Chains A and B, each alone.
Chain A
Amino acid sequence: MPLLLPHTLALIALLPLVGFLLNGFFATALGGHRANERVAGIIGCAFPIAAFALTIKAFLDLQAGGFAPIVEPLYRWALIGTSSFEIAFYFDRLSAIMTLVVTGVGSVIHIYSTGYMHDDKSFGRFFAYLNLFLFFMLLLVLGRSMLVLFVGWEGVGLASYLLIGFWFDDLTNAKAGRKAFITNRIGDAGFLLGMFLLYRAFGTLDMDTINGAFLTGSGAAMLVPASLVGLLLFIGATGKSAQIPLYVWLPDAMAGPTPVSALIHAATMVTAGVYLTVRMSGIYMMAPEASQVIAVVGVLTAFFAATVALVQTDIKKVLAYSTVSQLGFMFLALGVGAYGVAIFHVVTHAFFKACLFLGAGSVIHALGGEQDIRKMGGLRTKIPLTFWTFAIATAAIAGIPGLAGFFSKDEILWYAFASAKGGAPWLWGIAALTALMTAFYMFRLLWLTFMGASRMSHEVEHHVHESPVSMTGVLMLLALLSAGGGYIGIPHFLEAQIPLPPVVERLEHYEHTLLIVSIVLAFAGLGLAVFMFGGPTSRPEAIKQGLLPVHRLLSGKYFVDELYDRVIVKPLVWFSDVVLFRGSDKLLDGSLNGLASLAQRSAGLLSRVQSGSLHVYALMVMVGIVGAVLWSWRHV
Chain B
Amino acid sequence: MSEFTMGPMLLNLLLWLPMVGVGLVLLVARANDTRSRTISVAIMTLQFALATMLYRQFDATASGLQFATHLPWIAQWGVSYLIGLDGFNILLVLLTAFLGPIVVLGAWTSIKKDVPLFHVMVLLLQFAMMGAFVAQDLFLFYLFWEAMLIPMFLIIGMWGGARRVYATLKFVLYTAFGSILMLAAVIYLVHSLQLSSGVMSFAFADLYRSQLPLSVQTILLGAFALSFAIKVPMVPLHTWLPDAHVEAPTAGSVILAGVLLKMGTYGFMRLGFPLFPDAARAFTPLLMTLAVVSIVYGACLALVQTDIKKIIAYSSISHLGYVMLGLLSVELVGIQGAIIQMVSHGLVAAGLFLLVGMIYDRCHTRELAAYGGLARLLPVYSVFFMIFTLASVGLPTTSGFTGEFLALMGAFTAAWPAHLDGNQLPLVLAVIAVTGVVLGAMYMLRFALTFLFGDVKAPHHTPEHPLLDLSVREKSILGLLVIAVFALGLFPDGALQKTELAAKTYQSLVTTSRTPAGSPAGVTP
Contact = CB atoms under 8 A, between A and B. Distances in A.
B367 interface: no
A197 B409 CA distance: 9
A151 to B, nearest CB: 4
B147 interface: no
A151 B397 contact: yes
B434 A589 contact: no
Contact of A576 (B303, B408, B430, B435): B303
Contacts of A178: 445-446, 449
A288 interface: no
A197 B412 contact: yes
Interface in B437-464: 437-438, 441-442, 445-446, 449, 452-455
A80 B500 CA distance: 7
Contacts of A165: 453
A194 B376 CA distance: 40
Nearest to A190: B434
Contacts of A572: 300, 303
B349 interface: no
A636 B454 CA distance: 84
B493 A76 contact: yes
A226 to B, nearest CB: 15
A182 B438 contact: yes
B86 to A, nearest CB: 18
- For the residues of B in contact with A, the DSSP-based class is helix
Contact of B395 (A158, A197, A576, A584): A158
A154 B408 contact: no
Contacts of A170: 454
A605 to B, nearest CB: 21
Interface in A172-224: 174-175, 178, 181-182, 185-186, 188-189, 192-193, 195-197, 199-200
Size class of A's contact patch? 35 or more
A189 B376 contact: no
Contacts of A581: 300-301, 304-305
Contacts of A77: 490-493
Contacts of A592: 170, 174, 239
Given A158-B395, A182-B441, A185-B437, A79 B304 contact: no
A321 B333 CA distance: 42
Given A572-B300, A592-B170, A592-B239, A185 B441 contact: yes
Nearest to A186: B438
Contacts of B453: 165, 168-169, 171, 174
A200 B332 CA distance: 12
Interface string B387-414: 0001000011100011001101100110
B434 A79 contact: no
B239 A80 contact: no
A588 interface: yes
Nearest to A121: B376
Given A80-B500, A155-B397, A196 B413 contact: yes
A27 to B, nearest CB: 8
A577 B302 CA distance: 10
Interface in B495-509: 496-497, 500
Given A189-B438, A573-B304, A592-B170, A169 B412 contact: no
A557 B305 CA distance: 33
A171 B397 CA distance: 28
A225 to B, nearest CB: 11
Contact of A580 (B239, B300, B438): B300
B434 to A, nearest CB: 5
Contacts of B395: 154-155, 158
B452 A168 contact: yes
Contacts of A614: none
A575 interface: yes
B413 A199 contact: yes
B438 A80 contact: no
A604 interface: no
A166 to B, nearest CB: 11
A199 B336 CA distance: 16
Contacts of A80: 332-333, 336, 406, 496, 500
B240 to A, nearest CB: 8
A169 B305 CA distance: 23
Contacts of B409: 195-196, 199
B332 A81 contact: yes
A171 B301 contact: no
A200 B413 contact: yes
A169 B375 CA distance: 9
A497 interface: no
Interface in A510-569: none
A28 interface: yes
Contacts of B408: 192, 196
A473 interface: no
A31 interface: yes
A377 to B, nearest CB: 35
Contacts of B412: 193, 196-197, 200
B516 interface: no
Interface string B315-349: 00000000000000000110010000000000000
Given A186-B438, A192-B408, A181 B445 contact: yes
Contacts of B305: 581
Among A80, A150, A175, A588, the one with the most B-chain Cβ atoms within 10 Å of its Cβ is A80
B445 A169 contact: no
B208 to A, nearest CB: 22
A197 B416 contact: yes
Interface in A427-480: none
Contacts of B466: none
Contacts of A577: 304
Nearest to A224: B416
Contacts of B416: 196-197, 200
A508 interface: no
Nearest to B238: A588
B228 interface: no
Contacts of A199: 409, 413
B379 interface: yes
Nearest to B452: A168
Interface in B168-208: 170, 174
A182 B445 contact: yes
A609 interface: no
B431 interface: yes
Interface in A568-623: 572-573, 575-577, 580-581, 584-585, 588-589, 592
B373 A169 contact: yes
B236 interface: yes
A628 interface: no
A630 interface: no
Contacts of B304: 573, 576-577, 580-581
Interface of B: 170, 174, 236, 239, 297, 300-301, 303-305, 332-333, 336, 373, 375-376, 379-380, 383, 390, 395-397, 401-402, 405-406, 408-409, 412-413, 416, 430-431, 434-435, 437-438, 441-442, 445-446, 449, 452-455, 490-493, 496-497, 500
5 contacts: A28-B380, A165-B453, A169-B453, A182-B441, A199-B413
Interface of A: 28, 31, 75-81, 83, 150-151, 154-155, 158, 165, 168-171, 174-175, 178, 181-182, 185-186, 188-189, 192-193, 195-197, 199-200, 572-573, 575-577, 580-581, 584-585, 588-589, 592
Given A181-B445, A196-B430, A573-B303, 7 more contacts: A75-B491, A154-B395, A158-B390, A169-B376, A170-B454, A576-B303, A588-B239
